[in-house]
């Protein structure tokens, strides 16, 4: 029986290896050099090239500008300004293109224009949520065009799983007959692992033959544009404003980093239009403000905790000395280190509590939400999601970073002007509601509307 089990296992593993190698998304060689543009949109091209996450969104912006949906002007070298078109354009928009254009309109608001770098953040749904929806819509478009499919289809997974079940049964029977406990346990554990791997690989995509043909031609386009498959162009985003459609496709293929950078967020600097003009505000970690310790606990509570800890440490030290007698001097260095460390934290606790006491417990202000995001904290048993809003009050160079609950987070939108009541010591939102905006940006903008 053992020989049959070994033969069946080897045969099944060979089938598995063949299926995995046969479905690898091999990259095709570059096709014939040509600057002719195919019918796929730049976001779909970035998906075929494996660059959707990094270049799909800016490539779509460049393509929309080249097609006249908005104008691009250069404010200074490397920095562009996007201005909404005065008239409606002809041509259909894909769902993801409509989403991108809606974000531009929403960010521009009543000012009618927006810095290109401001389009890299401030998504009304939140950065992560926006990109997930954008990428899902691009994938759906590529699937509809027959350019990509699941890496492992049901026609491959189901026969492999059905063939693997009797193989696993034979292996278990052979191991039980020979008293091999560890291999039997390994077989039992290996079956769900392999099934999980199938489920993971089945959710991934690969290019179809039509997709490989399209990518080969687009790689030929890149070679014709830059001179080689790895060289990059220095073309700026301004070319799209002049109607050059090639720049969007070059960005989708990773060949126009300078044009992509025009729409990238500037690190921890965010753009805000609160007050009637575009300006930048910095943003730090939650709790980071002009007074770095203002998120500490209020004075009496902090002092009480520190003193309680010091009392416990003193009792432990006294117990050690009372039991050691003459040997006590030998352990003084061992005790001195934790005592000095605790004194350091005691001093820091007093200073932090003093700062917290000087802060007003409640802050009320109006401002514009410039960013919203979530952070998930996991441990061995559970996970918790925290919701954050970055709000520019128009008075400080650093935006408020406040933790809020899920309800207020869902009801907030980047670009909204809100009235906030916050616990300043803990950097938490107590209440947030829409506020009237008296700046030139006060014209209401409906998310999802298209200019024209």
212 and 332 belong to one structural domain: no
Distances (CA, A) of 68 to 60, 64, 86, 237, 338: 12, 6, 10, 14, 68
258 and 330 belong to one structural domain: no
Distances (CA, A) of 58 to 37, 252, 258, 333: 18, 8, 11, 61
Dist. CA 67–CA 101, nearest whole Å: 12
Element containing residue 200 per DSSP (H, E): helix 181-203
273 occurs within a structural domain: no
Element containing residue 390 per DSSP (H, E): strand 383-392
pTM: 0.70
Dist. CA 298–CA 356, nearest whole Å: 6
304 and 437 belong to one structural domain: no
110 occurs within a structural domain: yes
277 occurs within a structural domain: no
Please answer whether residues 389 and 417 qualify as being in contact, where contact means their C-beta atoms are separated by less than 8 angstroms: no
- pLDDT for the residue numbered 326: 47
Dist. CA 132–CA 357, nearest whole Å: 43
108 and 252 belong to one structural domain: yes
Could you tell me the residue range of the domain that residue 326 belongs to? 299-358
First to last CA, the chain: 76
91 and 233 belong to one structural domain: yes
Please answer whether residues 335 and 379 qualify as being in contact, where contact means their C-beta atoms are separated by less than 8 angstroms: no
63 and 198 belong to one structural domain: no
- pLDDT for the residue numbered 64: 93
111 and 52 belong to one structural domain: yes
Distances (CA, A) of 384 to 48, 208, 374, 375, 405: 35, 40, 10, 8, 12
64 and 141 belong to one structural domain: yes
376 and 316 belong to one structural domain: no
Query: What pLDDT tens digit does each residue of the chain (452 aa) get?
Result: 566 666 676 776 677 677 666 666 677 888 889 889 998 999 999 999 999 998 999 999 999 999 989 988 887 776 889 988 766 566 689 999 999 999 998 888 778 888 998 898 888 888 888 999 999 999 999 999 999 988 766 566 667 666 666 766 666 666 556 555 445 445 555 555 565 555 555 557 788 899 999 999 999 999 998 887 667 776 677 788 788 889 999 999 998 888 888 888 777 788 888 887 888 888 865 544 333 334 444 456 556 666 666 666 666 666 666 655 545 555 555 556 666 666 666 666 666 666 656 666 788 889 999 888 888 877 667 778 888 999 998 888 888 888 898 898 888 888 888 999 988 777 888 888 888 755 444 333 343 444 43
288 occurs within a structural domain: no
78 and 220 belong to one structural domain: yes
- pLDDT for the residue numbered 243: 84
- pLDDT for the residue numbered 315: 66
111 occurs within a structural domain: yes
388 and 414 belong to one structural domain: yes
37 occurs within a structural domain: no
Residue 427 region by backbone torsions, left for phi larger than 0, else alpha for psi between -120 and 50, else beta:
left
- SS3 for 256? coil
278 occurs within a structural domain: no
Query: Could you report the per-residue pLDDT of 388-427, keeping only the tens digit for each?
Result: 999 998 888 888 888 898 898 888 888 888 999 988 777 8
Nearest to 249 by CA among 422, 39, 12, 105: 39
373 occurs within a structural domain: yes
CATH number (domain holding residue 397):
2.40.50.660
Mark which of 343, 358, 373 sits at the end of a domain.
358
Q: Count of domains in the chain?
A: 4
142 and 256 belong to one structural domain: yes
- The single-letter DSSP state of residue 376 is E
Mark which of 203, 221, 236 sits at the end of a domain.
203
């Amino acid at each position: 029986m053992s020989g049959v089990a070994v033969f069946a296992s080897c045969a099944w593993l060979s089938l598995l290896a063949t299926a995995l190698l046969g479905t690898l998304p091999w990259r095709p060689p570059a096709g014939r050099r040509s600057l002719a543009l195919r019918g796929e949109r730049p976001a779909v091209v970035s998906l075929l090239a494996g660059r959707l996450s990094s270049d799909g969104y800016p490539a779509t912006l460049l393509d929309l500008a080249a097609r006249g949906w908005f104008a691009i002007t250069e404010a200074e070298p490397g920095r562009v300004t996007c201005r909404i078109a005065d008239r409606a354009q002809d041509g259909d928009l894909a769902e993801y293109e409509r989403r991108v254009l809606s974000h531009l309109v929403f960010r521009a608001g009543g000012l009618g224009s927006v810095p290109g770098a401001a389009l890299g953040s401030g998504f009304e749904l939140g950065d992560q949520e926006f990109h997930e929806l954008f990428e899902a819509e691009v994938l759906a478009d590529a699937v509809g065009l027959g350019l990509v499919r699941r890496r492992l289809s049901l026609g491959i997974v189901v026969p492999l799983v059905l063939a693997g079940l009797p193989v696993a049964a034979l292996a278990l029977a052979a191991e039980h007959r020979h008293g091999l406990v560890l291999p039997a346990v390994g077989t039992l554990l290996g079956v769900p692992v392999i099934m999980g791997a199938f489920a993971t690989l089945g959710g991934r995509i690969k290019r179809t033959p039509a997709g490989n043909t399209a990518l080969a031609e687009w790689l030929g386009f890149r070679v014709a544009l830059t001179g080689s498959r790895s060289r990059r162009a220095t073309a700026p985003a301004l070319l799209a404003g002049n109607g050059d459609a090639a720049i969007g496709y070059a960005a989708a293929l990773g060949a126009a980093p300078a044009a992509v950078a025009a729409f990238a967020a500037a690190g921890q600097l965010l753009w805000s239009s609160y007050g009637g003009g575009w300006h930048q505000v910095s943003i730090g970690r939650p709790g980071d403000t002009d007074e770095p310790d203002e998120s500490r606990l209020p004075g009496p509570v902090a002092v009480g905790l520190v003193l309680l800890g010091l009392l416990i440490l003193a009792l432990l030290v006294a117990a050690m000395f009372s039991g050691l007698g003459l040997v006590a001097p030998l352990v003084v260095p061992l005790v001195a280190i934790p005592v000095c460390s605790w004194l350091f934290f005691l001093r820091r606790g007093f200073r932090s509590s003093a700062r917290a006491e000087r802060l007003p417990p409640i802050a009320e202000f109006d401002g514009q939400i410039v960013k919203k995001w979530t952070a998930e904290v996991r441990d061995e048993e559970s996970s918790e999601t925290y919701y954050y809003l970055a709000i520019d009050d128009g008075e400080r160079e650093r935006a408020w970073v406040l933790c809020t609950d899920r309800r207020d987070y869902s009801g907030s939108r980047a670009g909204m002007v809100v009235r906030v009541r916050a616990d300043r010591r803990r950097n938490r939102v107590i209440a947030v509601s829409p506020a009237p905006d008296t700046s030139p940006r006060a014209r209401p903008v409906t998310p999802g509307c298209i200019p024209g």
